[in-house]
Structures are given as structure tokens and as C-alpha cells.
């Protein structure tokens, strides 16, 4: 499971979301988790996430902060 932890007011979060959409093959979904929601903040705390954007794959944090498309692609290809 690919998860993007984000905040609505985070511009880098929107950037990273677009990178994920560009590099994922068609039909592969990812879950967006808003850390400002109660459920999202609890899940982020469980994983030790302290900043956004953060990408987690199968419960493991793999990327933190603004990352470029090539780095995002590399991490996601390892998962796929």
C-alpha cells in the first residue's frame, strides 16, 4: 500500500502528489492521508511522521519532504 501523508496548506504536498500520479502506472492507486484529520494524525503518529509530505510504502516511511520525479519513481518502482 502506497500512502501519501499531507496537509491541505502544504504546497510541497501538492507537488509530490502530482509526482506520484505521473509516475504510477495507470490503475495503481495510492491512499492520501490528511494529517490534520483525527484519523490521519493518529496514523502519522504511529509511523513517527513529523513532517509532510511523507510517502510510506507498506507502513515504512520511504520519502520525506519535496522530492523530484526521478526519486519518487525509483522508490515506487521498487514497490511495484
CATH, residue 64:
3.40.30.10
E strand segments, 1-80? 2-6, 31-34, 54-57, 60-64
Average pLDDT, the chain: 94
Query: Range of 10's domain?
Result: 2-79
Total domains present in the chain: 1
> What DSSP character marks residue 22?
H
Residues forming beta bridges with residue 6, ordered by sequence position: 34
pTM of the model: 0.92
Distance CA 50, CA 63 (A): 12
Residue 57 near residue 8, CB atoms below 8 Å: no
pLDDT tens digits, one per residue of 33-48: 999 999 999 999 999 9
Amino acid at each position: 500500500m502506497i500512502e501519501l501523508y499531507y496537509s491541505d496548506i502544504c504546497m510541497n504536498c501538492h507537488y509530490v502528489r502530482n509526482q506520484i500520479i505521473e509516475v504510477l502506472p495507470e490503475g495503481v492507486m495510492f491512499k492520501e492521508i490528511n494529517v490534520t484529520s483525527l484519523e490521519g494524525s493518529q496514523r502519522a503518529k504511529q509511523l513517527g511522521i513529523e513532517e509532510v509530505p511523507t510517502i510510506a510504502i507498506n507502513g515504512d516511511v520511504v520519502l520525506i519532504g519535496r522530492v523530484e520525479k526521478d526519486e519518487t519513481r525509483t522508490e515506487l518502482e521498487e514497490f511495484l
